[in-house]
Amino acid sequence: MNAHPHRLAAIALIAAVIFSARAAEPPVTYLTPETFKPAIGQTLTLRVNSGTPQRTDVAPWPEDQLRYFFVRGGGMQHNRPTLQASERDRNAAEFPISHPGASVIALEPKPAVVQMSGEELKSFLLRNVAGAERDARVAALNEKATVRVRRIESATALVRAPEAAGEQAGPSSIAMSKLGLRVELRSMIDPTVSPAGSDWAVRAYIDGSSKSNVQVQATSLADGKTQTALTDRSGAARFHFGVGGSWRVEFHQAQPLENDSQADWVLYSGTLTFEVPTKGAGNDA
C-alpha cells in the first residue's frame, strides 16, 4: 500500500525539524596540502578545511585572520606573520618546497570570540573532550543561553619531498620537533615513514606545557574510522595505523573563564594532518 502524499510530506517536515534542531558544533580547522609528497621545487597549494574529521568544507584562505604561519624544513624555518591567498584561487595559498625530506607547515589563527548556544558547546564537549572535569562543566552549562567562546586554534601538516640523491628516507627530527604554538600536537614518531601497520604516538601541548588526561582523536580518511586515546602523564597518546593514506589528528580542551569581559569560555583546538605510506617507508608508497 502506498503512503498518502500528505502523510509523506508530514514525515519529511518532522525529519527536517529534528535535523535543524540538532546542535551545530563549532567547526574545526585542518590544514590540507594538495599533496603530502611534493616534488622539490614544487609550489605547493595549501587549503584550509573546516568541519569535522569525516566531513569538511573548503574555507576561504584566512590571510587576514592569521597570527602566525611558518614552514620548517631543510634545516631552516620560514616565518611569516601571514600568507596571502593565491591570486588564482582565494580559497588557497601557495608556498614553494625547496628542500628534500620532511617539512612541517603550521598556521595559527588570531584568537577570536564566537557566540554559540550552550547546547552547541555541550554537544562539542561531549564528543571531543573526556574526563570527570568535563562532566561537571557540561552539567553547569545552560543549553538555552548564548555563550561567548574564545577560540584558540592551530593547524599543522607534515609533508615529505623526495630525499637527496643517495639518501635513504628515514625518521626526520623536523617531523618530530616541538613548534611552540599555543596549542599543539607534536608527533613523537615520524608518520611520513611509518607504514600501515605501525604504531604511532603524539603529544598534546597547550601554551607550551604537555597536557595529561586529554582526549586525542585520529581519523583515517581512507576508511573513515576514528581512534580515540587519552594522553598519559607525559601528555602522549598512542595509536595504530591500520591503513595508509591521509589522517587527521586533533585534540580539544575547554574551560570556563572568570573575570573576562569578552568571553565566558576558552576552547583550544589543535590539529595535525599527514599521509601514512601504504607500503614501505619514504616515497615509494
Quote the pLDDT of residue 24.
61
Q: Is the pLDDT of residue 191 over 50?
A: yes
234-243 confidence digits (pLDDT tens): 999 999 999 9
Q: Among positive and negative, which fits the CA dihedral 106, 107, 113, 118?
A: negative
Contact 131, 193 (CB under 8 A): no
195-253 confidence digits (pLDDT tens): 999 999 999 999 999 999 999 999 999 999 999 999 999 999 999 999 999 999 999 99
Cα–Cα distance, 247 to 87 (Å, whole number): 29
Sketch the domain layout of the chain as residue ranges.
Answer: 23-284
Q: Is the pLDDT of residue 10 over 80?
A: no
* Prediction pTM value: 0.87
Helix runs in the chain, H state only: 5-21, 118-128, 132-139
**Which residue, among 58, 59, 47, 41, has the nearest Cα to 93 in the 3D structure?**
47
Q: Say whether 271 sits in a helix, a strand or coil.
A: strand
50-107 confidence digits (pLDDT tens): 998 778 899 999 999 999 999 999 999 999 999 999 999 999 999 999 999 999 999 9
Q: Which residues of 57-88 are buried (b: 16+ CB within 10 A; e: fewer)?
A: eeeebbeeebbbbbbbbbeeebeeebbebbee
Quote the pLDDT of residue 55.
85
Contact 195, 278 (CB under 8 A): yes
**Which residue, among 28, 31, 38, 30, has the nearest Cα to 192 in the 3D structure?**
38
Q: Among positive and negative, which fits the CA dihedral 5, 6, 11, 17?
A: positive
